[in-house]
Structure formats: structure tokens, C-alpha cells
Amino acid sequence: MKLDQLNGLLALKVVADTRSFTAAAKVFDVSASAVSQTIKQLEQKLGVALLSRTTRSTSLTEAGDAFLNQAGPALELILSALDDVGTYARKPSGLLRLNLPRQIYPAYLAPIVAGFAQEHPEIQIELFFEDQQSDVVDKGFDAGIRLSDILAKDMVAIKLLGPVRFVTAASPKYLAKMGRPKHPQDLLAHHCICPRFGDGPYVKWEFEHKGKDLEVLVVPRLIVNDALLMLDAAVSGLGIVYTTSQAIEEQIKRGKLDVVLDQYATSSSGFYLYFPKRSQVLPKLRAFIDYIKRTKADHSKNQSDLWN
């Protein structure tokens, strides 16, 4: 089978239904001569005439009629599928699959998703929580959300939140028992709670002081593959956790966690929505991007109004 044979089959079906090359040409948005040439090429490949053409009419030959009686139902399905898939390009619809770290969802993304879902009821939303770096293309996601530090270079990235500070924190109960570390190296004598990324725990905790970067390879006392459960463990007094200041904002306000080594905190430019470079972004993802941009603009305006 040749790659261009399908074009001829579809053209034959539409010409047979409309009995007109001109009408078929309108369906395919090409010229009548282009439709005629496509069918001629198919006939040459098959070695049999499928259409009988006169100056006044067009009709199927016996071979063409027999062929369409057998292949017609399958071609109807193809045409129906082509029409259905066109709806993805015309309006926001379908399943929007997002891959994101759990910690960003409760405080930041949850209200955005709720508002977007209400505005676009025709779009289904799937949230897949994964803390480690992920290949969104290979796993079939429309987009992902990650920190700027681990974004792939060949992705389009739109900033959502930032800058983001990385801090260490522990519960008052733990600090009363074990003492407060005064330098990042002191963490080697403490119980550290580490997230698991991929094959191993994240133990390279990064700090900054007076313009110099510091790294400490901590020894994990507890390893957790869920960011929220990791924070729960810290609140329970099991050790010191390394996370973003935004992720523990509520626990800090309630006195459940205290930041330690704050003078050594480092930062990242923030979290980004990222997706593969394509010539055309599907309407469902474009609608989500536009909603986020509008939400950020409204938030900035409200903040500005507070000072005016």
C-alpha cells in the first residue's frame, strides 16, 4: 500500500456520494482538477477504472461500485474520525494531562485548577503528582510544572511562581530536644528527612552565604517519596526537612515548624509550566495558559490597588 492511496480512496468516496468533482473539491478545500488527478492516480495503481466520467455526469463503474460496497463503511469511519479530531483544533476540549510536584498544588495551583475547571467544563483535567524530573512527552502529558533548575532546554517555559527560597525547618519539639544547627555542616549531626527522587534520596542540600554556594551531603534518617508526607514527618518531630518556604508557609504561621539556618537559604527563579515546542499548541493547553496569565494579571492588579 502506498502512502498517498488513502487520499484517492477518500476522494473516490466523496465524489461517489456527491456525483461531482466540484462538490468534492469543496469538501477537501482543493481544486476539482486536483481531486480528479488524485483518483486517476489511484486507478492507475489499481489498473482498473473506478469512475465513469462524461461532460454531464460522474458515476461509479462496476468495479468502483463493488469496491465502495466493501470499503465504504471503513471510509465512513475514517471521515467521521477526521471530522471529530478537527474539534481539538477548533475549541478547547478533551483531556488536559498535567505532571507536577505535589507541594505546589494545595496553596497555589488548587484554586487555579478549580477556576479553570468551572470556566471550561468541556475539558477534563488529570493531575499526576511526581516530584522528580519527568519527560512529559514520553509519558503523554500535555505539560508539566517544575522548578527552573531542572527544566529541559528544549521546552517552552512560562513562569508561574517565584522566586522560590529553599529553607531548612523542623518542629519546635525536635529543636528543643536536638538543638538548632548554626551552620549547614551541623546537619551531619541531625536527623534529616529526605525526599526520594528516582533511584535515590535527595541528599545534596544547597545553601548560600555571602555570595558563596555551599553544599552538604546529609545522611537521611527518614526517606519519603511524597512531599506532603515529608512535611508531616517534620511536623511530628522526626527531623529537619529541606523544602521551599512557600511549601511550609502555613506550618510556620501555626508554629508547627521553625526555619533554621535562614541566613544560609538559597533561592531559585521559581516554578514554571513547561511543554514541548510545537508549531501549534492545542486549544485545551492554550486555554489553560491564558487562564493562568489572566489570573496572574488580576492578582497583580489587586495587589497594586491595595497600595493606591
Could you read off the pLDDT of 226-239 as tens digits, one per residue? 888 999 999 999 99
> What 3-state class would DSSP assign to 243?
strand
Give 127's strand partners. 98
- Provide the pLDDT for residue 22: 87
Summarize pLDDT for 98-138 with one digit per residue, the tens.
999 888 888 789 999 999 999 999 999 999 998 777 778 78
- Provide the pLDDT for residue 299: 54
Q: Residue 23: CB partners within 8 Å, gap ≥ 6?
A: 14
State how far the Cα of 233 lies from the Cα of 195, in Å rounded to an integer: 11
| Residue 258, number of CB atoms within 10 A of its CB | 17
Same domain, 262 and 290: no
Same domain, 98 and 23: no
- Provide the pLDDT for residue 304: 41
Give this prediction's pTM. 0.65
Same domain, 229 and 170: yes
Same domain, 169 and 20: no
234: domain CATH number? Answer: 3.40.190.290
**Parallel, antiparallel, or unpaired: how do β-strands 143-147 and 240-244 relate?**
unpaired
Per-residue tens of pLDDT for the chain, all 308 residues? 444 556 688 888 888 888 888 888 888 888 888 888 888 888 888 888 888 877 677 888 888 888 888 887 887 777 677 666 555 556 788 899 999 988 888 878 999 999 999 999 999 999 999 877 777 878 889 999 988 766 666 788 889 888 889 999 999 999 999 999 999 999 999 999 999 877 789 899 999 998 899 999 999 999 998 888 999 999 999 999 999 998 899 999 999 999 999 999 999 888 999 888 765 678 899 999 999 999 887 655 544 443 33
Listing DSSP states for 126-162 in one string gives EEEE--S---TTTTT-SEEEEEGGG--TTEEEEEEE-
Same domain, 173 and 264: yes
* C-beta of residue 207 within 8 angstroms of C-beta of residue 288: no
- Provide the pLDDT for residue 213: 93
Domain final residue, candidates 62, 88, 114: 88
- Provide the pLDDT for residue 82: 65
Q: Number of structural domains, the chain? A: 3
Same domain, 188 and 133: no
- Provide the pLDDT for residue 227: 86
Same domain, 256 and 275: no
Domain hosting residue 66, numbered range: 5-88
State how far the Cα of 206 lies from the Cα of 215, in Å rounded to an integer: 5
